[in-house]
Amino acid sequence: MLRIRIALAQMNPTVGDLEGNCDSVVAFARSANEAGAHMAVFPEMVVTGYSVEDLALRNDFVSASITATHRLAARLAAEGLGEMPSVVGFLSRRAGGRPGPGAPAGAPQNSLAVLHRGAVRLVAAKHHLPNYGVFDEFRYFVPGDALPVLRLHGADIAFAICEDLWQDGGPVSAVREAGAGMLITLNGSPYERHKDDVRLELCGRRARETGAAVGYVNMTGGQDELVFEGDSLIVDANGELLARAPQFEEALLVTDVELPEGPPVAELPGTAAGRPVVRHVIPTAPPARYEAGAPVLTPRPDPVDDTGEVYQALVTGVRDHVRKNGFSSVLVDVSGGVDSALTAAIAADAVGAENVHALLTPGETTTLEETADAEDAVKRGGLVRRLQPVAALADAFRTEIDAAPGALPALEDRVRGGIAAAIAAEEGHLMLATADKSQLAMGLCGHYGDPNGAFAPLKDCWASLVRELARWRNAAAARDGEPAPVPEGCIDRPPRRSAPDGPPLPEQRLLDALLESYIGTDKGVRALIADGFPPDLVRRVVRLVDRAEHIRRAYPPGPKITRRNLGRDRRLPITSRWS
Amino acid sequence: MLRIRIALAQMNPTVGDLEGNCDSVVAFARSANEAGAHMAVFPEMVVTGYSVEDLALRNDFVSASITATHRLAARLAAEGLGEMPSVVGFLSRRAGGRPGPGAPAGAPQNSLAVLHRGAVRLVAAKHHLPNYGVFDEFRYFVPGDALPVLRLHGADIAFAICEDLWQDGGPVSAVREAGAGMLITLNGSPYERHKDDVRLELCGRRARETGAAVGYVNMTGGQDELVFEGDSLIVDANGELLARAPQFEEALLVTDVELPEGPPVAELPGTAAGRPVVRHVIPTAPPARYEAGAPVLTPRPDPVDDTGEVYQALVTGVRDHVRKNGFSSVLVDVSGGVDSALTAAIAADAVGAENVHALLTPGETTTLEETADAEDAVKRGGLVRRLQPVAALADAFRTEIDAAPGALPALEDRVRGGIAAAIAAEEGHLMLATADKSQLAMGLCGHYGDPNGAFAPLKDCWASLVRELARWRNAAAARDGEPAPVPEGCIDRPPRRSAPDGPPLPEQRLLDALLESYIGTDKGVRALIADGFPPDLVRRVVRLVDRAEHIRRAYPPGPKITRRNLGRDRRLPITSRWS
């Protein structure tokens, strides 16, 4: 057996920032080299960032990715890192791709490249293109068919990209036949609650199926509605976990694995499971300097509990949306409700309390408790307080359009949204929208005015989860001896906004369970009633959800934390009579 | 040769209204029967409407479609229409579809059914699933593989669905080998300028390739951002046009075609071009009543010119978005600019001038010309006039947030949007947004406030096309001796809103040519400069476009009229450093 030291570089690239991403690759490669690694492996599409969406169809963007990858190879060598192969994900194109109706323009491919001694030595593309949930990869890419195998100082290591690991009968099935002792996949795998458990189980299963160790390197950070959690890991050929990186932060996971020595390359097959095997050989004897130094293993830190994990995902999403879009401060309308108090707390954890401008907008329809809790949230959190009462303006509006007095709460919300947007534009803050998933599902946030904002941290959190997150964050503060950021009073106060018409909506947990069944599992009215939900409630809630599609379409993105968010995961017509 | 009378039913279904759609199918079948047709053929997914998007993944929706289709067969027979086969598009599912990661839940298929004598006699599914432009059919459907052929009173007629006609090597290539004398495709083919020319050319080419007559039945009407133009047609085996239906309206196209008599079915192949052929035989002798009556041919009316065709598409889109979403009136903020004047004219043509509420919102920054043109547009169009000055409210806003005087125009726009949204909500109008494609491309409409609205008629029209459409509409009014709806003064006035920072933007035609090259053809900065656009302008405009993605995401849908709209056709990350 050979002892090979693998470095998995859990990196946070930015879409479109090819230069910045390559700078980070070089920095990680340097650390890997200093740690004595024989190879560094980077996430899917690390050169371009992920997901680039329709940028993949632009000729100049694909060319820039290919050029950047070749330059990266040269630069790694120029900086003394060329002896250690670096494996990166990048956007490439298939040679001779024939244009046709519906074929992605320019035949772009989601590819990986082995960089060694100043050049690109091996290129192969992702086989399985996910086209479900948030993914549209049939739109952007053409599939690859070859299995790349690197002979690294005597051991054979195969590579694949993300979805290829999840599909039965994919390139994974060819690993054993190709004679590889290890499989490493490059991933851009979005966060979902509990996905880390599935991921570890899958890697273990694939290891046992293929008889090969499995390495999994994932990106981290936020990109629009996606959060990448990291959680890179390595299991041995028995599926036992060797090492695991933290969630939601950049990390270099350096691990020694024992791999079988491969036979002479000439004896190895040129195809495996019907696919061509493409190989590159790195000289057998490892360079002397790799033999020095003790193994540097980064064990996974104590995992946080499930609620804390969600909280971290939200903070990551907000931080990267603000930072990567060139902002440094945010504006939140703090109403005295739990949604806006939690949004402000997340924002403070993401960009610093001194960069969170909390707008207090008391109006004629605001209660004393709400006003007190809003002030309290600002004080506890150390946020920047901005007072902008809305009663006078809302009343001027009401008089102007001669609206009924009952329209006042909605008008106040419109004025709030208008003031917040104007201040954000005037001063250059990124504005956060505060509605939670339950509100947005039923269309109980306004259509214009209060849904204003560029990012919506709680968009994928049911109202009952919002309360759980608020309690979790307060408890964490208590453990650290800091003030709890979310006023206790607002956590248990029922939501101010109720459904139009009809009796009050039931208790939030029942409502959220129904919403989750309808939205999360696509159950129809009859099945929901069969599950025991009250028939009248089912019909009413389904109708509310179905009639609010136009509101969701205009709503800003927010971090996905569930299997089905109210964004790319769920695409429904606005115009529909189905209910 | 046999003379067969074919009825193509160019119908306007509504997504999710299975009952209403089946009612319409029966009504069209009755007309076809009265016209002596041997068969009636309906558009793609006519039972469910199209596109149903993620509704296809819901078990209850697929079941409802299948049930509705079987009931429809029975109902046609019960109403005395069972002897004439009706071929309808519907949502079905593949038996034994195996669930797996990424496979559409429930294995839904975009299918067609031959209904005859009270039952579903033949079912086959679309082979080629478009997954580009506005289409996401790999997400929703699993492909079919069989070629359905109907022996109709001695002639063999094959069927396929939409994209199958466009793809070389699709089921079309099996038509000749299967021995069919005619191919009919069921379509839900969205309108794009000049697509009618391409469509006729394609049908002619396929006829010559297959040696079979080709029938093309398309739906009509609007569905969210899509408009279906109809333009159903039949060409003979030489590719010569026999009959063509009008654009943008429902129609029954009844045409006699001469088809070869097929050999005994037993002598025909069970596979063609590697695909299974599924057949159903309708007794050879046509029922006596079909022999009566002269052929009823609906020739295509004089085609309108290109600009008029676009105008009709916009009217169709607005009319159906209003009607199918349960509204009967609209609200438009008429500013005195050409965009809002044309939007109001389109709305009046779509839903009647008496249902168009024109909001006049003069402010401190409105010019006298604008105010005059706004009043004029309301008067010429016979719209419902609503005066709501905004200066006082905008000033109150400005004082409240202590904004610089330079912020006033933007604040007035916010107040306009707020007032319009409040009135629309209060009185139940559907609100139209007025920005054109050039504004929206460069982010020169506000982010909050004036982009308010549920539908945006001019979203896919460059500013220079807006002027052309206004002139076209005025000329049409002059021909009919009616007042020209768009005040001439506003047609040539340059757009009020210019780009922030930097020198004034150039002449609109140059700007639109650049925008079309960048957005329509995905050319990069270097290629645009090589095409002769001024380098500084290219860099500035590309940057403006790239930085405005968040604004486009929140903008309401509008009718697609170009190959690439600013909606589903163009999907880019918000967070991107690429420019």
pLDDT at residue B67, as a whole number: 98
pLDDT at residue B498, as a whole number: 64
* Long-range contacts, B570-573 (Cβ 8 Å, 24+): B570/A54, B570/B519, B571/A53, B571/A54, B571/A136, B571/A139, B572/A53, B572/A54, B572/A55, B573/A15, B573/A16, B573/A51, B573/A52, B573/A53, B573/A55, B573/A223, B573/A224, B573/B549
Provide the shortest C-alpha distance from residue B194 to chain A (in Å).
16
Q: Is the pLDDT assigned to residue A102 strictly greater than 80?
A: no
Pick from B51, B131, B575: CB nearest A573 = B51
Highest mean pLDDT out of A18-22, A263-267, B163-167, B397-401: A18-22
pLDDT tens sequence across B26-58: 999 999 999 999 999 999 999 999 999 999 999
Pick from B392, B407, B575: CB nearest A223 = B575
Provide the shortest C-alpha distance from residue A61 to chain B (in Å).
8
- Taking the C-alpha atoms of residue B210 and residue B238, their distance in angstroms, rounded to an integer, is 10
Q: Which chain B residues contact residue A392 at CB under 8 A? A: 396, 400
pLDDT at residue A304, as a whole number: 75
CB–CB of B524 and A61 under 8 A? yes
What's the Cα-to-Cα distance from B286 to each of B39, B77, B78, B291, rounded to whole Å?
A: 11, 17, 20, 8
Q: Which chain B residues contact residue A168 at CB under 8 A? A: 100
Within 13 Å, how many C-alpha atoms sit on residue A25's CB side?
Answer: 38
CB–CB of A447 and B425 under 8 A? yes
Pick from B49, B100, B575: CB nearest A224 = B575
pLDDT at residue B289, as a whole number: 46
Q: Which residue of A has its CA nearest to B571?
A: A54
Q: Which residue of A has its CA nearest to B321?
A: A575
pLDDT at residue B94, as a whole number: 93
Q: Which residue of A has its CA nearest to B60?
A: A524
Confidence band, pLDDT 50/70/90 cuts, at residue A47: very high
CB–CB of B414 and A422 under 8 A? yes
Mean pLDDT of chain A: 92
CB–CB of B100 and A524 under 8 A? no
Residue B415 contacts residue B379 (beta carbons within 8 Å): no
Mean pLDDT of A220-236: 96
Mean pLDDT of chain B: 92
Mean pLDDT of B90-94: 97
pLDDT at residue A64, as a whole number: 98
Question: Three-class SS of residue A125?
Answer: strand
CB–CB of B426 and A14 under 8 A? no
Provide the shortest C-alpha distance from residue B224 to chain A (in Å).
6
Q: Which residue of A has its CA nearest to B20?
A: A577
What is the share, in percent, of chain B residues with pLDDT greater than 90? 78
CB–CB of A418 and B422 under 8 A? no
Mean pLDDT of A552-579: 95
pTM of the predicted protein model: 0.95
In this structure, are strands A108-116 and A119-125 parallel, antiparallel, or unpaired? Answer: antiparallel
- Taking the C-alpha atoms of residue B72 and residue B59, their distance in angstroms, rounded to an integer, is 20
Q: Which chain A residues contact residue B523 at CB under 8 A? A: 60
Is the Cα torsion angle A564, A565, A568, A572 positive or negative in sign?
A: positive
Q: Which residues of B are marked as active site?
A: 44, 126, 162
Pick from B400, B448, B576: CB nearest A16 = B576
Helix (H) or strand (E) holding A272: strand A271-272
DSSP H helices, B444-534, are 463-479, 488-492, 508-515, 521, 525-530
pLDDT at residue B418, as a whole number: 86
Pick from A131, A388, A418: CB nearest B414 = A418
Q: What is the DSSP string of B522-542?
A: ---HHHHHHTT--HHHHHHHH
Q: Which of B34-38, B378-382, B456-460 has the lowest mean pLDDT?
A: B34-38
- Quick count: other Cβ atoms within 10 Å of Cβ B119? 13
Confidence band, pLDDT 50/70/90 cuts, at residue B295: very low
- Taking the C-alpha atoms of residue A316 and residue A321, their distance in angstroms, rounded to an integer, is 8
- Quick count: other Cβ atoms within 10 Å of Cβ A170? 20
pLDDT at residue A293, as a whole number: 43
pLDDT at residue A297, as a whole number: 57
Closest CA to A560 of A314, A348, A347: A314
CB–CB of A136 and B132 under 8 A? no
pLDDT at residue B97, as a whole number: 65
User: Is the previous residue joined to B51 through a cis bond, with omega within 30 degrees of 0?
Assistant: yes
CB–CB of B223 and A139 under 8 A? no
Provide the shortest C-alpha distance from residue B24 to chain A (in Å).
15
Confidence band, pLDDT 50/70/90 cuts, at residue B463: very high
Q: Is the pLDDT assigned to residue A295 strictly greater than 60?
A: no
What is the share, in percent, of chain A residues with pLDDT greater than 70? 94
Q: What is the DSSP letter of A475?
A: H
Q: Which chain B residues contact residue A401 at CB under 8 A? A: 388, 419, 422-423, 426
CB–CB of B61 and A419 under 8 A? no
pLDDT at residue A289, as a whole number: 46
pLDDT tens sequence across A67-100: 999 999 999 999 999 999 999 999 999 987 666 7
pLDDT tens sequence across B239-288: 999 999 999 999 999 999 999 999 998 899 999 999 999 999 987 665 44
Confidence band, pLDDT 50/70/90 cuts, at residue A284: low
Q: Is the pLDDT assigned to residue B301 strictly greater than 70?
A: no
Cβ contacts below 8 Å, chain A against chain B, sum to 250
Question: Three-class SS of residue B141?
Answer: coil
Pick from A400, A422, A571: CB nearest B53 = A571
Helix (H) or strand (E) holding B554: helix B549-554
Q: Which residue of B has its CA nearest to A408?
A: B422
Provide the shortest C-alpha distance from residue A151 to chain B (in Å).
31
- Taking the C-alpha atoms of residue B417 and residue B412, their distance in angstroms, rounded to an integer, is 9
Q: Which residue of A has its CA nearest to B106?
A: A522
Confidence band, pLDDT 50/70/90 cuts, at residue B407: confident
Confidence band, pLDDT 50/70/90 cuts, at residue B450: low
- Taking the C-alpha atoms of residue A170 and residue B101, their distance in angstroms, rounded to an integer, is 12
DSSP H helices, B43-167, are 59-78, 137-140, 163-166
Closest CA to B50 of A573, A546, A524, A570: A573
CB–CB of A55 and B573 under 8 A? yes
CB–CB of A393 and B388 under 8 A? no
B346-365: b (≥16 Cβ within 10 Å) or e: bbbbbbebebbbbbbbbbbb
- Taking the C-alpha atoms of residue B481 and residue A85, their distance in angstroms, rounded to an integer, is 78
pLDDT tens sequence across B103-162: 898 999 999 999 999 999 999 999 999 999 999 999 999 999 999 999 998 999 999 999
Provide the shortest C-alpha distance from residue B396 to chain A (in Å).
7
pLDDT at residue A99, as a whole number: 67
Closest CA to B454 of B569, B321, B315, B565: B321
Q: Which of A30-44, A100-114, B128-142, B498-512 has the lowest mean pLDDT?
A: B498-512
Closest CA to A234 of A262, A199, A192: A199
